[in-house]
Structure 1
Amino acid sequence: METTITRHVPPQHLIDLINPVVRAALRSRAHAPLDDALLILHVTGRRSGRTLDIPVTYHRFGDELLVVTQHTWRANLRGGAEVQVTLQGRCRTMHAEVDEDPRSVAATILELVRRDGLHATQRLVGLTFHPEQVPEPAELEGAVRRFDLAFVRLTSCR
């Protein structure tokens, strides 16, 4: 049976409205309730030199923090980059690598399903599988291409 895969993300105008509040909360002493789900990724534009402060959801995956995105700001991290990350109320330097290969992204999603379960993974990556079953790798790879998904992998700088 073929799985239908859909993507659900809040409308951009709602994200733009909420992000200043989220950024302020993550930088304040009131950050604790958000710590297990959100961080601020401080990305410097390669051409503009401007710093973007982007609240993103993350997931711990071994020694890495995984961030799923479909946004174009990820281009600034291609080839690897040192970035500032506000996590658990503290700013730290981390190394960012972007995985934009649809086969690799799909394989990571399937690994997350095996490790954390179907529902947790669907919430993390913003995908819904109909019926609620693990899709075939080729189907998932097609969805990754269709929704232009990538993972940003953050690791500690030692």
Structure 2
Amino acid sequence: MRLPMNGFQKTAAIFNKGVTPLLRLPGIGSALSGSMTVLHYTGRKSGKQFELPVGYRRKGDEVIVGVAMPDRKTWWRNFSGDGAPISVDLDGGTRTGHAVSNRNERGEVSVRITLDA
């Protein structure tokens, strides 16, 4: 059973629907491509396909996505435990990889994506 969205989640959904297409536009997308991208993943329980604009840091074949206010968001939980497959818009195309979420001792959450070769 899916719970109704709270006000924060509704606002985030509207924002995400607006930002995602902007990241695909020439000029805007390329200007932000070093710090923002779109994740594509399948919901662990729902089986639905999702896409989500996020900020990221990259070092080689590793991408780190910090999750601000993780207790108000649920998407990162799809990658807990052993993680799950994910796709990321990078380098002018879509890269596949494996994502694993982690919560540190301060309660901060990040998702580490190891890109496929």
Q: Which has the higher contact order (CA 8 A, sep 6+)?
A: 1
Per-residue CA deviation, residues 88-118 of structure 1 (Å, 9 max, x unaligned), is 4411112111112x23xxxxxxxxxxxxxxx
Match of 1:72 in 2: 74
Aligned counterparts of 2:83 and 2:10: Cα–Cα separation in 1: 30
Per-residue CA deviation, residues 61-99 of structure 1 (Å, 9 max, x unaligned), is 464211111121112112121111112441111211111
Tell me, yes or no, if structure 1 residue 29 matches structure 2 residue 32.
no
Find the partner of 1:151 among 105, 110, 116: 110
Tell me, yes or no, if structure 1 residue 48 matches structure 2 residue 7.
no
Match of 1:111 in 2: none
Match of 2:3 in 1: none
Greater radius of gyration (CA): 1
8 Å Cα contact 2:89/2:95 also seen in 1: yes
Per-residue CA deviation, residues 2-48 of structure 1 (Å, 9 max, x unaligned), is xxxxxxxxx65543333223211222333101101111111211121
* Residues 1:89 and 1:19: Cα distance change in structure 2 (over 3 Å): farther
Unaligned runs of 5+ in 1: 1-10, 104-140
Unaligned runs of 5+ in 2: 1-7
Corresponding pairs, count: 104
Aligned counterparts of 1:15 and 1:47: Cα–Cα separation in 2: 21
Q: Report matched runs for 1:1-150 at 5 Å.
A: 12-30=9-27, 31-61=29-59, 63-69=61-67, 70=70, 71-78=73-80, 79-100=82-103, 102-103=104-105, 141=106, 144=107, 149-150=108-109
Whose helix fraction is larger, Structure 1's or Structure 2's? 1
- Aligned-partner SS, 2:34: coil
Whose strand fraction is larger, Structure 1's or Structure 2's? 2
8 Å Cα contact 2:84/2:98 also seen in 1: yes
8 Å Cα contact 1:26/1:86 also seen in 2: no
